[in-house]
Amino acid sequence: MTAVLITASIFSGVGVVQISRRNHGGRMISLVIDYLGFVACVVLAMNTGEVFIGIDALGETFSSGLPYMGIVIVGYFLGVLDEYFPQKQQNSETSLKIASRWVMLGGFALFLLQVGAINGILYFLGKLAQPAGIASVIGSAIFGFSLWAIGRPATAQALHVKTNHEQILNGWLFLSPNLLGFLIFFAGPLVLSFYFSFTDSDAFNTPNWVGFANYAKILNVRFAMLTSPDQLAREVVDIKIYDEVGRFIFGNSGILFAAADKFFWLALRNTLSFVLLAVPLSVIPALVLSNVLNSKLPGMKFYRAIYFMPSIAAVVGISLVWQWLYNATVGYINYFITLGIEFWNNLFNLGRC
């Protein structure tokens, strides 16, 4: 954590210097730091408020609130019926709209009460009242305001930002969810595991630095000659230090392979077995078949067409289905998006009352 704060401080200083010189690079650095800080503070606030635990609890009670969502749907259709009244009946139209919105609001409130969302929100706010929650909320507000301020068009124009700079920034913005997921769930644990390999961590107690002791243990192996295939391991090695990994038998004698950490060598054996057996058995036949398909044997073009038809037909069929779903006129996706937008507009647009 200290290293992260130091790195952020260094880049922040560089960004301040670049911004003072009206260099667009300072804006880029500031946007990255503010964006990462905002995401970190929001995640910390959600974790402090136990939002993720609350989502699991909501999943258990969600079905009990579905009947009350029927009231919301009824209110929505009341608003839809208003469109079928003649325009001259202005008073009836307004009354039906008002009734529709209040019915939807009432049904939605009952739904929240039934699933326990009100208690969950109060519990979340209570957790945020703790020091960590307050700090995360303040941090989210600061980073969010800084992100908005430095991202304004006026700021970009003052720092001589060009179109290609904005395109690069937008590209990284769209990549950021996947990139952050990779860093947090893959690269981060990989680096952390490498660090723990130099400690005596057991995932429960505070780890202590032991240097290369773990590597010395897994590489501490011994080969001992056996006078008979069934000779006991304790007769040739110290079983308090070494565990038997395997035996290589040659007639009436053999070699015992023992290691201080036998699980590492067993895992290595399994990995090598997979690499030497499973990979060639899956790759070599595929290469042979691809060469046959690429050959100039009689009738090979017809065979290729038949062979690839299932793959091509599936892609074409899926493309046509999605093209139809996204159709602006008869597509179901756009239709349901329109219904959803109208639903929330009718639910919260009380200003027209």
pLDDT of residue 151: 83
In this structure, are 286 and 311 located in the same domain? no
**Residue 197 placed within a domain:** no
* Cα–Cα distance for residue pair 238/234, rounded to 1 Å: 6
Identify the residue with better confidence: 251 or 350: 251
Provide the residue range defining the domain that includes 278. 262-294
Residues 55 and 142 in one domain: yes
Shared domain for 272 and 338, answered yes or no, is no
Same domain, 37 and 132: yes
Report yes or no on 103 lying in a domain.
Answer: yes
Q: What is the three-class DSSP state of 223?
A: strand
DSSP state of 207: P
Task: Read off the amino acid at residue 2.
Answer: T
- Closest by CA to 20, choosing from 144, 158, 162, 145, is 158
Are 134 and 91 in the same domain?
Answer: yes
Pick from 234, 215, 222, 225: nearest CA to 259: 222
Asked if the structure places residue 345 within a domain, the reply is: yes
Between CA 197 and CA 214 the distance in angstroms is 7
Q: How many helices and strands, by DSSP H and E, does the chain display?
A: 14, 3
Q: What is the pLDDT of residue 271?
A: 92
The answer to whether residues 236 and 281 belong to one domain is no
Number of domains in the chain: 4
Q: Is residue 204 part of a domain?
A: no
Do 42 and 147 sit in the same domain of this protein? yes
- Tens of pLDDT, residue by residue over 86-138, are 554 444 445 777 777 788 888 888 888 888 888 888 888 888 888 888 998 99
C-alpha span between 231 and 256 (Å, rounded):
9
Paired tokens of 316:
């074409």
Q: Per-residue pLDDT for 82 more than 80? A: no
Question: pLDDT per residue over 289-348, tens digit each?
Answer: 888 888 888 888 888 888 888 777 777 888 888 888 888 777 878 777 877 777 777 666
- The pTM of the full predicted model, rounded to 2 decimals, is 0.57
In a domain, 25, yes or no: yes
- 153 found inside a domain: yes
Burial class (CB within 10 angstroms; exposed 0-12, middle 13-18, buried 19+) of 276: exposed
Q: Which of 131, 112, 132, 108 is nearest to 122 (CA)?
A: 112
* % of the chain at pLDDT higher than 70: 92
Q: Specify whether 243 is located in the same domain as 266.
A: no
Q: Is residue 306 part of a domain?
A: yes
